[in-house]
Amino acid sequence: MARMDQIDSEALRTLRYQHYWLTNLGILKLRRHLNRDELDAAEHVLAQLRAAPIDTPELSFSVSMLEIDLSGRRTDYSSALMLTEQKLQDLNRKEADIYQRLKAMVVKARMFDRAALPQKGFSVALRAACLAHTAQILPVLWEAIGAMSRVLISVKEYDAAVRLVEHTLPQALECEDCALTAYLFSCLADGRMGMAGRSKDNTSQQNENLAKALSSLDRSFEEFSKIEDVKGQCEMLAKRATIMHLNGDLVLANDFAAKYLDIRKAAKEQQ
C-alpha cells in the first residue's frame, strides 16, 4: 500500500492510468480488509469498485473472486457458489483466459469444502488439476491438489492426502504465494492429525504424526500471519490448542487459546 501511495502524480495525469491505479488500489484494500476480517469495510470497498466500470479483464476477474471470498467469509455459501457458477458460465461464453477459468473452478471446489461439502467439489478440482497440468499453470495446479486432498481427508484417506500434499509443497513454495502455502500446510496438518487419530494411543507413530501436524500448523500460521489473515491464524491456533489439550498439556493449550483471543480482540479493535 505504501508503494502505491509513492507513485508520482505526474504518471497519473492521464485518466486511463489514474482509473487503472485506483482500481488496483481498491483491490489491494479489499483484499486487506478480507484478510483482517473487516467484512463491513470490505463490503464498502467492493461497492466502490463495482460503481465504476472495469475495462481490464484481469482486474474485473480479481474483483469477482474477492466478492466470492467475501460471501464465503460471511458463511453465505449459497451466494458464493451461485456467483462462482455465474462467473464460470461468463468465462466460458467469452472464451476467457484459461488461467481465469481454472482458478474459478478451484475456487468452486474450495467453496464446497468451506460449506462442509468437500466431496461435491472433487470432480471440478480433479478437472482443474488435469487442465492446469496440461497448460502448465502451476499455482492453480498446486491449489487444485490441495482441494483434492481435502476430499481425501473427508473420506478418511489420510495417507493418500498427506502423500499428495507432501509431493506438492516443495514446488508450491517456489511460487512465494503465502495464501497458497498456508492452505497447503493446513491440508497437510489435517491429514497428519487424521493419521494420528488412526494410530494406537501413545505410540511412537502417533506421537510422530502429531509432531508433524504441529509443525505444519506452525508453518501455516506463519504464512497466514504474513498476509494478516485473522481467520486463518485463529483456525491454526485453535487446532494447536486442541492437540495440546488432547496431549494433556493444558498450559500450552491455554496459551494458544489466549493467543487466539488476543488476535480476535486486536482485529475487532482495528475495525
Q: Are 129 and 102 in contact (CB under 8 A)?
A: no
- For residue 99, the model assigns a pLDDT of 94
The residue that leads in pLDDT, 102 or 197, is: 102
pLDDT tens per residue across span 88-132: 999 988 777 899 999 999 999 999 999 999 999 999 999 999 999
d(CA 32, CA 45) in angstroms, rounded, equals: 11
Supply the DSSP symbol for 200: P
Q: The pTM is what? A: 0.91
Instruction: Give the integer Cα–Cα distance in Å for 39 and 25.
Output: 17
Q: What is the pLDDT of residue 266?
A: 82
Higher per-residue confidence, 266 vs 18: 266
Predicted confidence (pLDDT) per residue in 206-226, tens digit: 889 999 999 999 999 999 999
Return d(Cα 199, Cα 115) in angstroms, integer: 29
* Rounded Cα–Cα distance for residues 65 and 87 (Å): 9
| pLDDT in the model for residue 32 | 94
Is the confidence at residue 9, as pLDDT, over 80? no
100's grid cell: 481465469
pLDDT at 264 over 60: yes
Q: Is the pLDDT of residue 4 over 60?
A: no
Say whether pLDDT at 2 is over 70: no
pLDDT at 271: 62
Residue 19: per-residue pLDDT: 75
Residue 195 contacts residue 207 (beta carbons within 8 Å) = no
For the chain, the 3-state helix, strand and coil shares in percent, each to the nearest 5, are 85, 0, 15
| Inter-CA distances, 145 with 10, 32, 133, 188, 197, Å | 45, 26, 11, 11, 23
19 against 93, higher pLDDT? 93
pLDDT > 60? residue 8: no
- In whole numbers, what is the pLDDT of the chain averaged over residues? 89
Q: What is the mean pLDDT of residues 34-53?
A: 92
Task: Give CA–CA dist 173/184, Å, rounded.
Answer: 10
d(CA 31, CA 69) in angstroms, rounded, equals 9
Helix (H) or strand (E) holding 160: helix 158-173
